Amino acid sequence: MPPQLTLTANIPDPDDFYEALLAAHEGLSKAESDALNARLILLLANHVGDPAILREALRQASRKPAS
């Protein structure tokens, strides 16, 4: 079975992570936050590396939220 995008809970302490994510943006302007997000995406995408997983992540992220 090829590696797949993990869509089950995988972050050991979700509250800690979420807090850290918001803290990283604390006090930043919109432009600075956008830049931080872009750097974060690139860092994580490189860590993943696998093109099939990246494609699947793009697909999942592109799904329109249910209205």
Name the site residues for another protein (rule: CB under 8 A): 34-35, 38-39, 41-43, 46
| Residues 6+ positions from 34 with CB-CB distance below 8 Å | none
- Cβ 39 to another protein, closest distance in Å? 5
Q: Which of 53, 25, 26 is nearest to 39 (CA)?
A: 25
What does the alpha-carbon distance between residue 22 and residue 60 come to, in Å, rounded to a whole number? 22
- Cβ 34 to another protein, closest distance in Å? 5
- Closer CB to another protein, residue 16 or residue 28? 28
- Cβ 41 to another protein, closest distance in Å? 8
